[in-house]
Structure 1
Amino acid sequence: MGSEGPSAVSIYVTGFKKFHGVKRNPTEEIVTNLKEFMGKKGLPKGLSIEICEILETAGQGALNPLNQFFQSAILGLENLDGTSSNARRTIMIHFGVNSGASRFAIESQAVNEATFRCPDELGWKPQKTPIVQEDGGIGRMRKTTLPVKEMKRKLEEMEYPVVLSEDAGRFVCNYVYYHSLRFAEEHGIQSLFVHVPLFMTINEDKQMQFVASLLEVLASLIS
């Protein structure tokens, strides 16, 4: 088995458009520019960025494009003959902004609760609502299967300001992450959510370097 070498890793990435109080969402620019940036910098060996998608900052009303993104992630696992490829791993990485943060936050879990402090961009404002009704109550949690503690340690060694978080909030970021973790578990893939600060707190170049380092760390840990 070991002679087969490291598995190839396909990365599927999302960011968000503007939302209440944040007219310039850094994740929209990070994700939009990621392929070009990594093309110049060079991707870690065995890793490829397949899709970079910008999502509406909305919950229920934006589920269709989110589900299409999920479907594209599992279609990438299919060979031409329609059989699943065990040699390729798929990771979905979602980026969201925390306007009050001064550090990057690796989110370890999401909660089955939508309690929006303000309406999303499509006007929805749920309160203590289960994100997935069939999962039960709002106390249900789902955790990423990625080695987040090791990721944090390696990124700190690279001198990035980073924390490991167990609370992704109850707004759209948590909403998307919960759906993503549920989908990942069902299809044997992996999911991660990362909160970033505003560009006025950590500038764009530093944030792009952080995302590149995040991909490098992921490649090193799961190869």
Structure 2
Amino acid sequence: MLRDSRNFMGFQRIQRRQLSIILSATWRKRVCPKALFLGVAMFLKLLGKERFASLYKTLETAITGHENTSYTGHVIWLHFGVNSGASRFAIEKQAVNEATFRCPDELGWKPQKVSIIPSDGGISRTRETALPTNDITKALSNLGYAVMASDDAGRFVCNYVYYHSLRFAEEHGIKSLFVHVPLFLTINEDIQMQFAASVLEVLSSLQL
């Protein structure tokens, strides 16, 4: 699932579409580890009035698709988002139950200090991934990537998606992870595609 984090400029829109298309194609051309099955790679356009239904419909595909196959391994929702101000990759540890958008989303929604899920409590509530982000970061760093573990996914669309995904994952016994990537102008496309494939390989090697 692809989503950009800070704004909706044309370049970011192009990049996240490229990430979705190229990640899927690149990974299927590689020798896929036996421990990993890539179920879906998509660009997600959401929010506005349809935000909740669109997101959960997408998340549900992880469950229905998993149940309709003979695959018995773990399901991991892997999200990528573009952070235009970043100089390195970031493995996000958590999301916060707060939506504070500095500019409207693609459908004109601009919440300010709103609980993403009111029934979860106030805007200080956090949800953490069940995946070992420090181990993942270390493994990727050892492969030569400029990557860090982060506990701040912002308060914009990426955080919104990640919070819903983490809650959904907890309810359904699956896992979720969000990865922020820089612009292609900062780290070029080839390296970013290699990094995305390396993330998948590292996830497939985890003892879950």
TM over 0.5: yes
Q: Which residue of 2 aligns with 1:69?
A: 58
Paired AA for residue 22 in structure 1: M
Q: Which residue of 2 aligns with 1:207?
A: 192
Aligned equivalents of 2:68 and 2:28: distance in 1? 25
Q: Which residue of 2 aligns with 1:49?
A: 38
Please report how far the alpha carbon of residue 208 of structure 1 lies from its aligned counterpart in structure 2 after TM superposition.
Answer: 0.3
Q: Which residue of 2 aligns with 1:5?
A: none
RMSD (Å) for aligned C-alpha atoms? 2.0
Identity %: 54
Paired AA for residue 151 in structure 2: E
TM-score (norm 1): 0.86
Aligned equivalents of 1:21 and 1:218: distance in 2? 29
1:131 aligns with 2:120: no
Aligned equivalents of 1:39 and 1:182: distance in 2? 29
1:28 aligns with 2:17: yes
Aligned equivalents of 1:171 and 1:89: distance in 2? 28
Aligned equivalents of 1:185 and 1:48: distance in 2? 21
Q: Report the 3-state secondary structure (helix = DSSP H, G, I; strand = E; otherwise coil) of the residue aligned with 2:86.
A: coil
Q: Which of 120, 130, 147 is matched with 2:132 structurally? A: 147
Aligned equivalents of 2:5 and 2:102: distance in 1? 16
1:114 aligns with 2:99: yes
Q: Given the superposition, is the C-alpha separation of residues 137 and 30 from structure 1 closer, same or farther in structure 2, using an over 3 Å criterion?
A: same
Paired AA for residue 15 in structure 1: L
Q: Which residue of 2 aligns with 1:186?
A: 171
- Higher alpha-carbon deviation: 67-76 or 132-141: 67-76
CA contact 2:4–2:81 (8 Å) conserved in 1: no
Paired AA for residue 25 in structure 2: E
Q: Report the 3-state secondary structure (helix = DSSP H, G, I; strand = E; otherwise coil) of the residue aligned with 2:66.
A: coil
- Higher alpha-carbon deviation: 68-77 or 200-209: 68-77
Q: Report the 3-state secondary structure (helix = DSSP H, G, I; strand = E; otherwise coil) of the residue aligned with 2:135.
A: helix
Structure 2 unaligned spans of 5+: none
Structure 1 unaligned spans of 5+: 1-13
1:40 aligns with 2:29: yes
Please report how far the alpha carbon of residue 93 of structure 1 lies from its aligned counterpart in structure 2 after TM superposition.
Answer: 0.6
Q: Report the 3-state secondary structure (helix = DSSP H, G, I; strand = E; otherwise coil) of the residue aligned with 2:149.
A: strand
Paired AA for residue 182 in structure 1: R
Greater length-normalized contact order (CA 8 Å, ≥ 6 residues apart): 2
Q: Which residue of 2 aligns with 1:11?
A: none
Paired AA for residue 53 in structure 1: M
Q: Report the 3-state secondary structure (helix = DSSP H, G, I; strand = E; otherwise coil) of the residue aligned with 1:182.
A: helix
Q: Report the 3-state secondary structure (helix = DSSP H, G, I; strand = E; otherwise coil) of the residue aligned with 2:42.
A: strand
CA contact 1:61–1:122 (8 Å) conserved in 2: no
CA contact 2:4–2:82 (8 Å) conserved in 1: no
Paired AA for residue 120 in structure 1: D
Aligned equivalents of 1:123 and 1:145: distance in 2? 33
TM-score (norm 2): 0.92
CA contact 1:16–1:57 (8 Å) conserved in 2: no
Structure ranking higher in strand proportion: 1
